[in-house]
């Protein structure tokens, strides 16, 4: 281990849909599950925001 290991940029964790999961450890799978749950929550929030904007616009133009 080098003294400069902390200086290297850390690889951002990402998950590609359909990728081979057999090479991942149980801990890595858990991390990916958490990552995907956070992304689902972010998507649901954005969807709710867009639905609210659409509803507001529809009620304004009636």
Residues 7, 3: Cα–Cα separation, whole Å: 9
- Domain membership flag for residue 56: yes
C-alpha distances in Å from residue 60, one per residue of 17, 20, 51, 55: 40, 49, 14, 9
Question: Around Cβ 7, how many Cβ atoms within 10 Å?
Answer: 7
- Domain membership flag for residue 6: no
- Domain membership flag for residue 10: no
pLDDT along the chain (62 residues), means of 10: 63 83 94 96 96 84 80
Instruction: Please tell me the total count of domains within the chain.
Output: 1
Q: pLDDT value at position 62?
A: 78
- Domain membership flag for residue 61: yes
**Contact present, 21 and 4 (Cβ < 8 Å):** no
Q: What is the pTM of this model?
A: 0.65
**Contact present, 45 and 38 (Cβ < 8 Å):** no
- Domain membership flag for residue 11: no
- Domain membership flag for residue 17: no
- Domain membership flag for residue 19: no
- Domain membership flag for residue 8: no
Q: pLDDT value at position 1?
A: 54
Domain that holds residue 44: 25-62
């Amino acid at each position: 281990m080098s003294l400069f290991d902390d200086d290297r940029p850390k690889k951002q964790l990402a998950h590609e849909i359909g990728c081979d999961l057999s090479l991942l450890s149980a801990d890595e799978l858990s991390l990916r599950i958490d990552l995907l749950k956070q992304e689902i929550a972010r998507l649901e929030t954005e969807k709710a925001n867009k639905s609210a904007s659409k509803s507001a616009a529809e009620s304004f133009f009636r």
